[in-house]
Chains A and B, each alone.
Chain A
Amino acid sequence: MRKFSLEKGPYLRSVDEKIISTQRMMFDVIIALLPIVLFGWVINGILPYFKHLNNVNFFNMLQPLLNVIVGVLSSVVFEALYFLAFKKAGNIKNALIEAKNSFAAIPGLIIALILPARVDMYVIVFACFFANIIFKMLFGGLGHNIFNPALIGYAIAATVFSSQIATALEIQNGVFNSLLNITTTATPLSILSAESSSVGSFLVNKTVLVDNYGGLINLFLGLKNGALGETSGLLCLVGFVYLVARKVINWRVPVFYVGTFFIICWIIGIVNHIEGPVLGIWFPTFNILTGGLLFGSIFMATEPVTTPKSPNGKIIFAVFCAVFTALFRFIGMFNEGVCTAILFVCLFTPIIDKFAAKNRGPIISSKMVLRYLVVFVLFVLITLYTVYKTTSIPKDDLAVIEIVNTIGGGF
């Protein structure tokens, strides 16, 4: 007779069969981000340098890459220090292992990607401090944070260092424009805001918004100015396909986020008589390809800890992210809206989670339908409010345009 181990079932785990693990999931996120990092480096550093554009020295050439390295390093160091100081990690090696196990690098990486390429490095370090120490470790570490660390770090840095970020963006835009022979100096979206505010009605011009940048295809490929990593829609989609294929993220959030946002923008375009074929379909397309919406919906709104867990909750979350992005983008202060919208909806994650968990099931009762109807009505009301507001954007306050032009690093 031989003794055997008693354990809790099931005795077959995908973790043991090396099909999936938390480590691998996080590693896959980094892999999906790598092409974006490289693309950002090429377009913001290498190309301008080797085309001998003015104001671009050797350091500027390396800066996009250095930013990413600084972001990752400062995140890891902050977390390791925290483990060393408060979690009794013992020695530095243990602290680093702990930091690795709580995936400290990812917030830093993403922060570097959503700030402009020419931003001063202390801004990144500052954002990483807030992301990793204040909003991750102090909330209990991995799995207990209530905000996406990268987003909240970015939001705080963008508020505190708004002028530095704006300056960085301006320099970057200058470089970019001489690279691509574009005459405007702002990101496409700040033009959208400025245009619509100054003219008084929601009058937007395809020539100014899209054609200046060489058409929608250039916006899709990423030949536009903006934050370091969010410009290329193509690479974001590649990352999306990779992450879904590797079962790291759920397809629902990005698809519903982008889809809903597309429809809302389309409605706004139609209501405001935007011209173009197929009821001005370029307008929603333009809105999806700018302001880091693809990057945000694929890499931010799918962050597991702070978003709802059940599939139906994920859909509710994505749909509300979309409607608040529209609200913040068209009538809010941050002209990109993605960051603020995701942070805002994250606050409601526990409520959405509870609602979704209680309203699942093979049997759909009339009570359940009623509850979903209430959520849907709420969604429609916010959408209607957004659409209504876009038709009456105030024209008198020029200071607003000033703010719109300076705040927000393109994300």
Chain B
Amino acid sequence: MFNKIHGRHINGHKHMSTSEPIMNYLDPDFVYFPLNVGNATYQKLVEVGSKVLMGQQILIREGRFGHPICSSVSGTVTAIKKQWHSSGKMVEMLEIANDHQDLACYVKTNDEQLTRDIIIDKVKNAGIVGLGGAGFPTYVKYLPSQPADYVIINAAECEPYLTCDYLSIIEETDRFIRGIHYIMIANSSKKGVIAIKKSKLEAIDILKKALDGIDDISLFLLDDVYPAGWEKYIVEKVTKKSYTGLPREAGAVVNNVQTAIAVCDAVEENKPLIDRVVTITGEGIKNPRNYRVKIGTKITPLLTLSGGYVDDLDEAYCICGGPMTGRSLFFDDLVITSNVGGIIVKPKPKTLEVNECIGCGKCSENCPAFLTPTAIKQAYLSKNINDLNALNASRCVQCGLCSYVCPSRVEMTDYMAKAKEMLMKANANKK
């Protein structure tokens, strides 16, 4: 009762973008690749003016989480320009002009025996990162040599509005399941689990049919709550084990749906990570739907393809990612990087009035990390680092539930993020 994450049901708004199948938009004129994101910088492997092929490694991140980034089109590197990145900042990006030839540098090879090392190597060279949103290099998860008990595929997609994973499962079931098998080989794992929300009936039906006769992959049905897609929530539900750091502690490897599909492509065709599915949706879009796009494409043509904005759109948000954890953008001129799962255009609510906190305690009742946001807010405002430590402010995952449930519309999540930042800074200074 005290240490079980309950979650809370949130209206999904998912029906908007599921009626149409995924549409291909694979031939953009220009693609962009960021040269530095946050504290990660990328080494250029090409210069302005050089010709690149589709799938050629153009940037490489070094260090512990190193991975290459591959060009998603063939063409010429034309410039280094500042463009809007999903982090909400202008970032220097490599611009590649598409020659519309799609000359690929990768070829299909026939491997007689797929061993663990071969798969990890292929995944690393393909530059596959988690496509759920965090963008963690996938091969790093596979490196620990002890076998994982479970390979868990996170198909919960608990963020409202987004449907890219859901449609990917429906349309690419076979590749998805083959991908899971490859991940299982890479982790010497015997059990594969697809964790999906109970409410996604169509996808569950299709998966049940596809899994007929496959014994080592099973379905795990999650409640229709937020944050059911939180890695920790899924791992604890599936393995019944609790952990503090990485899921590996509980003997699990967790991957996103699209990551599994990308792994399948990388293993079978040596195809690097060059495309992904994004959802363009929201009440502000005329015809919401999902698109398969080259990584590095701008969202502007996709918005046009979706019929543009509804006519009476007044002040609105343009949200990159899901509405709970995403970020609002100033312009609709974003470059789709591998961590962008969707763009949501949503009218701004008429009133943003914040009332007095009446202390109802809904925030702490709903907190999946078992924190008490009101206490943390107080400690943050009084700059009490000791209290922040004792209140475990660093455990916050910024899922956004505290702000969501607040009846007074207090910006709890924002306070929590600031408190976490303050605590981390203070702890870093101490060291």
Contact B349 A16 (CB under 8 A): yes
Kindly name the residue among A16, A21, A306 whose own CB sees the greatest number of chain B CB atoms within 10 A.
A16
B368 to chain A, nearest CB (A): 9
Partner of A310, one of B3, B317, B361: B361
A243 to B158, CA, bound (A): 28
A22 to B355, CA, bound (A): 8
| Cross-chain pairs A/B with CB under 8 angstroms, 11 sampled | A7-B352, A9-B319, A11-B323, A11-B328, A12-B10, A20-B405, A142-B358, A306-B359, A353-B374, A357-B374, A364-B2
For A357, list chain B residues within 8 Å (CB).
Answer: 364, 371-372, 374-376, 391
Does B326 lie at the interface of the complex (its beta carbon under 8 Å from any beta carbon of A)? yes
Partner of A1, one of B319, B333, B370: B333
Interface residues in A1-55 (C-beta closer than 8 Å to B) = 1-17, 20-22, 24-25
A151 to chain B, nearest CB (A): 16
Interface residues in B113-168 (C-beta closer than 8 Å to A) = 160
Contact A4 B316 (CB under 8 A): yes
Contact A362 B370 (CB under 8 A): yes
Interface residues in A331-390 (C-beta closer than 8 Å to B) = 353-354, 356-358, 360-364
The 9 closest A-B pairs by CB, nearest first: A10-B400, A357-B372, A309-B361, A357-B375, A143-B356, A4-B318, A310-B364, A16-B349, A304-B360
Contact B372 A22 (CB under 8 A): no
Does A250 lie at the interface of the complex (its beta carbon under 8 Å from any beta carbon of B)? yes
Apart from A2-B332, A250-B361, A358-B390: 6 A-B pairs, beta carbons within 8 A: A6-B328, A11-B324, A309-B364, A310-B364, A310-B372, A354-B375
Does B407 lie at the interface of the complex (its beta carbon under 8 Å from any beta carbon of A)? yes
Chain B interface size range: 35 or more
Contact A362 B242 (CB under 8 A): yes
For B89, list chain A residues within 8 Å (CB).
Answer: none
Contact B375 A8 (CB under 8 A): no
Contact A13 B403 (CB under 8 A): yes
Q: Which residue of A lies closest to B244 (CB)?
A: A363
A320 to B23, CA, bound (A): 61
Assuming the contacts A1-B333, A8-B414, A16-B349, asked whether A361 and B361 have C-beta atoms less than 8 A apart, the reply is no
Assuming the contacts A9-B400, A13-B406, A250-B365, asked whether A360 and B323 have C-beta atoms less than 8 A apart, the reply is no
Q: Which residue of A lies closest to B300 (CB)?
A: A1
A356 to chain B, nearest CB (A): 7
Contact B323 A12 (CB under 8 A): yes
Does A312 lie at the interface of the complex (its beta carbon under 8 Å from any beta carbon of B)? yes
Contact B357 A143 (CB under 8 A): yes
A349 to chain B, nearest CB (A): 9
Does A203 lie at the interface of the complex (its beta carbon under 8 Å from any beta carbon of B)? no
Assuming the contacts A9-B324, A14-B404, A358-B390, asked whether A305 and B317 have C-beta atoms less than 8 A apart, the reply is no
Contact A4 B372 (CB under 8 A): no
Contact B404 A13 (CB under 8 A): yes
A interface: dominant SS: loop
Contact B414 A14 (CB under 8 A): no
Interface residues in B334-391 (C-beta closer than 8 Å to A) = 344-346, 348-349, 352, 355-365, 369-372, 374-376, 390-391
Does B281 lie at the interface of the complex (its beta carbon under 8 Å from any beta carbon of A)? no
For B395, list chain A residues within 8 Å (CB).
Answer: 361
A4 to B2, CA, bound (A): 42
A4 to B405, CA, bound (A): 25
B388 to chain A, nearest CB (A): 11
Does A311 lie at the interface of the complex (its beta carbon under 8 Å from any beta carbon of B)? yes
For B14, list chain A residues within 8 Å (CB).
Answer: none
Partner of B5, one of A5, A247, A362, A364: A362
Q: Which residue of A lies closest to B357 (CB)?
A: A143
Contact A361 B392 (CB under 8 A): yes
Assuming the contacts A1-B332, A11-B328, A17-B11, asked whether A314 and B409 have C-beta atoms less than 8 A apart, the reply is no
- 1/0 contact trace for A132-146 toward B, CB 8 Å? 000000000111100
For A5, list chain B residues within 8 Å (CB).
Answer: 315-317, 328, 348
For A20, list chain B residues within 8 Å (CB).
Answer: 362, 405, 407
A272 to chain B, nearest CB (A): 34
Partner of B325, one of A10, A144, A361: A10
Partner of B391, one of A309, A311, A358: A358
Kindly name the residue among B2, B11, B317 whose own CB sees the greatest number of chain A CB atoms within 10 A.
B2
Assuming the contacts A4-B330, A12-B324, A354-B375, asked whether A305 and B407 have C-beta atoms less than 8 A apart, the reply is no
Contact A361 B375 (CB under 8 A): no
Partner of A9, one of B326, B330, B390: B326
Partner of B358, one of A305, A308, A353, A362: A305
Contact B2 A312 (CB under 8 A): yes
Contact B317 A12 (CB under 8 A): no
Q: Which residue of A lies closest to B364 (CB)?
A: A310
Q: Which residue of B lies closest to A16 (CB)?
A: B349
B157 to chain A, nearest CB (A): 15
For A13, list chain B residues within 8 Å (CB).
Answer: 349, 403-404, 406, 409
Contact B365 A311 (CB under 8 A): yes
Contact A141 B328 (CB under 8 A): no
Partner of A304, one of B236, B359, B369: B359
Partner of A4, one of B332, B369, B409: B332
Does B329 lie at the interface of the complex (its beta carbon under 8 Å from any beta carbon of A)? yes
Contact A10 B374 (CB under 8 A): no
For B403, list chain A residues within 8 Å (CB).
Answer: 8-10, 13
Does B413 lie at the interface of the complex (its beta carbon under 8 Å from any beta carbon of A)? yes
A357 to B405, CA, bound (A): 18
A257 to chain B, nearest CB (A): 16
- 1/0 contact trace for B392-404 toward A, CB 8 Å? 1001000010011
Contact B323 A4 (CB under 8 A): no
For B317, list chain A residues within 8 Å (CB).
Answer: 4-5, 7, 11
A387 to B131, CA, bound (A): 62
